[in-house]
Structure 1
Amino acid sequence: MTVLLFILGVLFVVFAVGISIALHEVGHLVPAKLFKVRVTRYMIGFGPTLWSKKKGETEYGIKAIPAGGYVAMIGMYPPNKEDGSVRPSSTGMFQTLAESGAAQRVSRQRKSGRFEQLATDARAMAHEEVGPEDENRVFYKLPVWKKIIIMLGGPFMNLLIGTVLMGVLLMGFGTAQATTTLAVVNACQIKEGEATPDPKNCTPTPAAAAKLLPGDTITSFDGKQVTGWDELTSWIRSSAGKSVQLTVQRNGKAVQLNITPVLTARPVLTAAGTPEKDAAGKVLTQDVGFIGVSPSSENVQQPITAVLPTVGNNIAQVAGVVVNLPQRLVAVAQAAFSSAPRDPNGPVSVVGVGRVAGQVAAMEDVPLSARFATLLGLMAGLNFALFVFNLIPLLPLDGGHVAGALYEAVRRRLAKLFKRKDPGPFDIAKLLPLTYVVASVLLVMGALLIYADIVKPVNLFG
């Protein structure tokens, strides 16, 4: 049964990723059609076509390699600025040489011919389906703001998917929050340098000495009514060495106890509740009051006002990973080819996401609703990652096309300001050499992450 559940979790990720990719491309498709650009193909995946159907002027299909998708729009690149051509000519170069006759042309051909050929080939493909009736339906003739809307449509769709999933998670399932009811009362204090307490030389924790029990609900501390665990924790931390009266609800009755928190080194927590580390990766600590208990938790449904702040926090975390991606990839490579552990907060591939989903689905001792909520959160995070990653201003990512459109807008505005001739659309085909470099880097990065997720997967569950 566990194996079956694991497979179902993986299949859930495969299906969810496919839907996310499909809707990402819909985000490009819809505004392109609204702006009258002729879209010839809407494809999920790459490589050989497994299935396709033409509806109107667009062919919709699924390809063999499920590694993304694309929307093909005619006239993505403007004609060659020098001669207005969009297709390579077998005689054009010789005619040019005969007419201009200059050795300068030959020299330039040797230096940049290979790069120019890339642009020429791409330009030819972009215009191969353009007919006389499509003169005003090509992408490159669109105003800059329309180009930006089309290119941002895909990432925006991922943002929308992630936000909806996060809303369902927060408002429908809720989030686990610590309560003032005790789940664990530790019997012994852990001495400095020990990983676990020594049962043969046990120094009782203040909670054990005060005879607190699991299931007790703390209602007051030092005469103050307790309304939440975070509030109680702050009072305990500031009361080291002080005898404090404690009131708990036990089996429906109020019980008063006395407790004296001890001063001990505890981790410094971030706003997210995780231990804070210094530049060397060591957990920072501070001396605070401690009694030796752990709270129980319960799912609490959140209001709609909590959704956007949570989305913002998720995007900020993903952006932090992307900004430090080179450093994190080095850490992934070191872990993959050595005994070093993987960083649980580092980047993973779809293979890694699928493995985590399988583990979650296979946790038979966890309620089904909690497992499904975790999977929803996983898919929300994946869509936020797609949103942020696609905004990187490098081709072939959507952010690269947006950057090209913005450059075109600035160039045209400056020309108008200084009363110069309109330079026309920016020929983004000239950046194809850089595009191929970036695409190669992305392929290597993806291969590294997949390899690491196979030989040294991230372990989130111990």
Structure 2
Amino acid sequence: MNAGVLLFIVAILVVVMVHETGHFLVAKVFNFKATKFFLGFGPTVWSFTRGETEYGIKAIPAGGFVKIVGMNPYEEIAPADRERSYFTKPRWQRALVLVAGSATHWPVAFLILLVTSMTLGFPTGKASTEVAAVSVESPALESGLRSGDVITRVEGLETRSWERVSAFIRAHAGEEVRFTVSRGGTERPVDVVLGRAIYSPRLGPVDYAPASEELRELRGNEKLVGFLGVQPQELFEKKGFLGAAADASGKTWEATKLSVQGIGQVFSMVVDGRLWGALSGSGERAIDEGPLGIVGAGRIAGESVATGQYLNLIGLIVGFTIFVGLMNLLPLPPLDGGHLAVVAYEAVTKRPVDMRKLIPVAAAVLSFFLILFVASLYLDIARPIRTPL
């Protein structure tokens, strides 16, 4: 298994474990009776019992759960357990138990970014003219450009910064351009027919085609730019604890805003028909054509490690962590946010909710997410997102 895919899977499992630990610890603080703590669903692979709780791993690694006595409306509760059951506890305690899982996602993301800033460092926003990586199926790869090449001239003009190289590439979509590169101490010319890409100010490159192929029509404020397919060597800066903490705070907030937009985009894709259009299409798809599923994320993780773009992997893990934390707070049963909505409703109306009446709603929500999961899985396999460097 590719190292990037393995790291991504491990990261998912750690996030799930920390999430469930959040629920579990707060439940213990308020003396809820928690009888099970499992990673995964389905048949039990391994477990052990300590005290009143069974801990273990299930066969399907698609999440996890903490079983608290009284949360299941059809559960028979022993008289001795009644005082420790979910619905006999004060609403504020139930709310804290419910929110504790998702609340762990932000500290996890912050710590990942903090350590990254102190060890690897983050880009300064500047890049050299050295080629760090070459994208697959790109004009750069086809012309023979390699990782480690240093672009010294473009069409005979000396290049002192990547900004000048990038501006030239963007302005000459579909044209043949001569690059002079330094490789192993020797300069050599490399002729490249630049591809064409659609650039979105909000999303960046969203679609690409070689010069000989047609692109879809431009939408809104998108524009056509040239595409080479290389990642320049970025300049990084490591920081001490205080500077790294400031970096991590800012990037955690940015990831939160992007996750909010991402959740909105997922639902809008269903409403406006883009998801169904993507399912009926063929070939690779642009980043805004259908959701990215777990298989697609794993593929990107693998490519990130294979090309040495470790910050891409870290960004993917941080984005996943916060996205799942936010998604779980949506006011839809059976998500934690759905249970929080029930607590809020009870607080306002002063009346208990019959959870059995919400089971059809929970089933509909689960069906929706299952359809979305299957659709994203199909798209990840049949129409993977094109990810030009």
Match of 1:160 among 87, 94, 107: 107
Residue ranges of structure 1 left out of the alignment (5+ in a row): 1-5, 77-121, 185-194, 196-206, 219-228, 234-266, 286-293, 413-422
How far residue 28 of structure 1 moved from its aligned partner, in angstroms, is: 0.7
Match of 1:314 among 255, 275, 279: 255
> In the superposition, relative to structure 1, how do residues 331 and 172 fare at CA in structure 2: closer, same or farther (>3 Å)?
farther
Q: Distance in 2 between matches of 1:34 and 1:297?
A: 47
Equivalent residue, structure 2, for 1:454: 381
One-letter code aligned to 1:409: A
- Deviation digits for residues 381-412 of structure 1 (CA, Å, limit 9, x no counterpart): 11011111111110111110111111111112
What's the secondary structure of 1:72's corresponding residue? strand
One-letter code aligned to 1:460: T
One-letter code aligned to 1:323: G
- Deviation digits for residues 169-217 of structure 1 (CA, Å, limit 9, x no counterpart): 2343222234386669xxxxxxxxxx9xxxxxxxxxxx979x8623x37
Contact 1:321–1:347 at 8 Å: present in 2 too?
no
What's the secondary structure of 1:123's corresponding residue? coil
Does residue 430 of structure 1 match 2:380? no
Does residue 71 of structure 1 match 2:66? yes
Match of 2:96 among 149, 157, 166: 149
Q: Distance in 1 between matches of 2:276 and 2:119?
A: 39
Does residue 213 of structure 1 match 2:158? yes
How far residue 268 of structure 1 moved from its aligned partner, in angstroms, is: 9.6
How far residue 12 of structure 1 moved from its aligned partner, in angstroms, is: 1.7
Equivalent residue, structure 1, for 2:187: none
Q: Distance in 2 between matches of 1:46 and 1:347?
A: 24
> In the superposition, relative to structure 1, how do residues 142 and 457 fare at CA in structure 2: closer, same or farther (>3 Å)?
same
Q: Distance in 1 between matches of 2:238 and 2:200?
A: 24
Match of 2:31 among 33, 36, 45: 36
Does residue 133 of structure 1 match 2:74? no
What's the secondary structure of 2:104's corresponding residue? helix
What is the aligned length? 316
Match of 1:378 among 307, 316, 325: 316
One-letter code aligned to 1:24: H
Contact 2:283–2:383 at 8 Å: present in 1 too?
no
Equivalent residue, structure 1, for 2:292: 348
Contact 1:156–1:387 at 8 Å: present in 2 too?
yes
Q: Distance in 2 between matches of 1:317 and 1:37?
A: 35
> In the superposition, relative to structure 1, how do residues 273 and 323 fare at CA in structure 2: closer, same or farther (>3 Å)?
closer
What's the secondary structure of 1:59's corresponding residue? strand
What's the secondary structure of 1:439's corresponding residue? helix
- Deviation digits for residues 279-325 of structure 1 (CA, Å, limit 9, x no counterpart): 9724457xxxxxxxx98630123522122222111111111121132
Q: Which structure carries more strand by proportion?
A: 2
Equivalent residue, structure 2, for 1:339: 282
> In the superposition, relative to structure 1, how do residues 400 and 165 fare at CA in structure 2: closer, same or farther (>3 Å)?
same
Q: Distance in 2 between matches of 1:399 and 1:131?
A: 28
> In the superposition, relative to structure 1, how do residues 378 and 295 fare at CA in structure 2: closer, same or farther (>3 Å)?
closer
> In the superposition, relative to structure 1, how do residues 159 and 428 fare at CA in structure 2: closer, same or farther (>3 Å)?
farther
What's the secondary structure of 2:73's corresponding residue? helix
Contact 2:35–2:54 at 8 Å: present in 1 too?
yes
Q: Distance in 1 between matches of 2:286 and 2:322?
A: 20
- Deviation digits for residues 201-241 of structure 1 (CA, Å, limit 9, x no counterpart): xxxxxx979x8623x379xxxxxxxxxx89xx9xxxxxxxx
Q: Distance in 2 between matches of 1:217 and 1:323?
A: 38
Residue ranges of structure 2 left out of the alignment (5+ in a row): 132-138, 140-152, 168-197, 207-216, 224-230
Does residue 123 of structure 1 match 2:118? no
Q: With the length of structure 1 as denominator, give the TM-score of the two structures.
A: 0.61
How far residue 360 of structure 1 moved from its aligned partner, in angstroms, is: 1.8
Q: Report the aligned-residue RMSD.
A: 3.3
One-letter code aligned to 1:390: N
Equivalent residue, structure 1, for 2:301: 357
Q: Distance in 2 between matches of 1:74 and 1:24?
A: 19
Q: Distance in 1 between matches of 2:253 and 2:37?
A: 31
- Deviation digits for residues 151-179 of structure 1 (CA, Å, limit 9, x no counterpart): 11111112221221122223432222343
Equivalent residue, structure 2, for 1:23: 18
What's the secondary structure of 1:459's corresponding residue? coil
Contact 1:393–1:401 at 8 Å: present in 2 too?
yes
Q: Distance in 2 between matches of 1:320 and 1:434?
A: 25
One-letter code aligned to 1:351: V
> In the superposition, relative to structure 1, how do residues 273 and 455 fare at CA in structure 2: closer, same or farther (>3 Å)?
closer
Contact 1:38–1:137 at 8 Å: present in 2 too?
yes
Q: Distance in 1 between matches of 2:276 and 2:200?
A: 29
Contact 1:22–1:44 at 8 Å: present in 2 too?
yes
Contact 1:332–1:449 at 8 Å: present in 2 too?
no
How far residue 335 of structure 1 moved from its aligned partner, in angstroms, is: 2.5
Match of 2:236 among 284, 288, 299: 299
Superposed counterparts of 1:214-229, under 5 Å? 214=159, 216=160
One-letter code aligned to 2:265: N
Q: Distance in 2 between matches of 1:305 and 1:357?
A: 26
> In the superposition, relative to structure 1, how do residues 268 and 217 fare at CA in structure 2: closer, same or farther (>3 Å)?
closer
How far residue 376 of structure 1 moved from its aligned partner, in angstroms, is: 2.1
Structure of larger gyration radius: 1
> In the superposition, relative to structure 1, how do residues 180 and 448 fare at CA in structure 2: closer, same or farther (>3 Å)?
closer
Contact 1:148–1:402 at 8 Å: present in 2 too?
yes
What's the secondary structure of 2:2's corresponding residue? helix
Q: Distance in 1 between matches of 2:105 and 2:314?
A: 14
